[in-house]
Homo-oligomer: A and B are copies of this chain.
């Protein structure tokens, strides 16, 4: 099972090594066609029509492409952006690549030819290409791995190249492999020194490269970097070795710590190794990491990283709503990791987490037009909060550190890939959305149609070849779910396993709104409840409160069930009428008149007015 197979089927993360022999296999991106009227489908279309072109425009506006041109004298511009700005170019190419894989579009061909041609001209004869080093600090080449992000940039180059190759275009792959070969010769298993990047990313990219090329040396280089990480090679700054996960060997690192995006990209790469090599010691570490990140450090919106200072995971249960850093890229990295963990060992928790992330933190990271973005996704906005560069009060078209927007573009382009998979003899459905799915030969071919307006509604109809095995994910919040009217009984993995009959199968997921509480150790939201319905987290915005009532002063009564549908739930709130001193023998109690206000899906917040917002609502 070498390159040729995956090159023609372009799935997300198809394990290539015989050792893996997993019953869980991804489908080709093009095999899942999202209904344009569904939420996921509409998001994917908006991505193609608005977000990707916006990113392409911004790469020119913000100077990312000039950064390449100036190296070879094709531009007089000053260097602009962060030193790893090349990665934004590669992420945008990757987004385009998945669009081509998905739809066969030729709209981007000339842009791709221009940009890849530019990269080729900038690449040095030994394969090196990173414009900040080449054009600004040549003396730092491979000299400050803790900060330079050279291998991080290469990682995104490789991911873009592999995605493009799977879509049938290999010119970038040739360039990427040359740079990989240089890194391999410099820091690989045969080199006289070890080196890995301050920002993990190359690891997962190398395994994907191996899946495409079938070249063992690409997998070996990934393993070499993972095996050595944590040996303290990186120069430690004021943020400590945890910041870039160099404080302990991967196999001994049980907690998700440091820069959240780095930890989660690293975990995706490590899990890729597990998929290819079945390394049990790595899988054990990944399970501990997963529990740490998801059972003690995840925001209810599916976001990660509670600290601004070092963009880091907090301590266990340190999950403040107001200072949630909750970087969009961390959620994206986790989505990638979850998909790999599912492939490695199955279990509905991975897709349930992805669904939470998609419908909340990720969906909130851009506006309705798909051209304005949040880098940071807090769960509370205080009325007087002032904007910070990476955490503005309102979504903005681009960022000085623009990692998030093109990352959003590539993940929405990939979206169809996370909907379903082959699971042994069955088709597994992970994300419910209206779509058509072409079945692979292994499942007998044919097409499955999913009809639903989920998550607006909980009814999901699945129609397809009679006798087809289905594994339908039953969300943990969906107690009382039914299949054709009978109780849906998920197996230990969280999937209900059935066979399709002649007519459509009907899965009914109860969508009553529910009040959710956090663990008592989450000090930040003690005495509060969050409102959820299906996979959707809600919030209340100041704009929906009557004049004279301030969001920070209201109390909800969770014994009153909320009413309404997807777009808005009605809840009763009672205002406090005094503010009171900062500290004293008692706190103010709600004495105002109870009013009904609307709670809106979290991902829609900030689209109407700039004002206070809360996910967690006080009950006392």
Beta-carbon nearest neighbor of A530 in chain B: B583
Query: A255 an interface residue at 8 Å Cβ cutoff?
Result: yes
Interface positions, chain A 21-64, Cβ under 8 Å from B, are none
Beta-carbon nearest neighbor of A518 in chain B: B583
Q: Are A584 and B382 in contact (CB under 8 A)?
A: no
CA distance A618 to B315 in the complex (A): 19
- From known contacts A317-B552, A618-B526, infer whether A580 and B322 are also in contact, taking CB-CB under 8 Å: no
Q: Are B307 and A318 in contact (CB under 8 A)?
A: no
CA distance A321 to B315 in the complex (A): 13
Query: A296 an interface residue at 8 Å Cβ cutoff?
Result: yes
- From known contacts A382-B317, A384-B316, infer whether A618 and B520 are also in contact, taking CB-CB under 8 Å: yes
User: Interface with B: A93-101, A385-393, A482-490, which one?
Assistant: A385-393
Contact with B along A309-337 (1 / 0, CB 8 A): 10000111110111100000000000000
Query: A528 an interface residue at 8 Å Cβ cutoff?
Result: yes
User: What residues of chain B lie closer than 8 Å to A585, measured between beta carbons?
Assistant: 514-517
Interface positions, chain A 233-258, Cβ under 8 Å from B, are 238-240, 242, 255, 257
Beta-carbon nearest neighbor of A552 in chain B: B521
Smallest beta-carbon distance A224→chain B, Å? 28
Query: A527 an interface residue at 8 Å Cβ cutoff?
Result: yes
- From known contacts A316-B384, A323-B323, A389-B238, infer whether A295 and B517 are also in contact, taking CB-CB under 8 Å: no
Q: Are B307 and A519 in contact (CB under 8 A)?
A: no
From the candidates B314, B317, B580, B584, name the one contacting A516 in the complex (CB within 8 A): B584
Q: Are B315 and A518 in contact (CB under 8 A)?
A: no
Beta-carbon nearest neighbor of A580 in chain B: B519
Query: A143 an interface residue at 8 Å Cβ cutoff?
Result: no
Interface positions, chain A 367-385, Cβ under 8 Å from B, are 380, 382-385
Query: A579 an interface residue at 8 Å Cβ cutoff?
Result: yes
Query: A191 an interface residue at 8 Å Cβ cutoff?
Result: no
Known: A322-B523, A519-B583. 19 other contacts (CB 8 A): A238-B400, A298-B582, A308-B309, A309-B309, A314-B323, A317-B552, A320-B323, A321-B523, A515-B585, A516-B585, A517-B587, A518-B583, A518-B587, A519-B581, A519-B582, A520-B618, A522-B582, A523-B528, A527-B620
For this complex, 25 residue pairs linking A to B, each with C-beta atoms less than 8 Å apart, are A239-B388, A240-B388, A257-B386, A295-B582, A298-B582, A300-B583, A307-B308, A307-B309, A308-B308, A315-B386, A316-B383, A317-B382, A320-B320, A320-B323, A515-B585, A518-B582, A518-B583, A519-B583, A520-B552, A520-B576, A520-B588, A521-B552, A521-B553, A523-B616, A620-B620
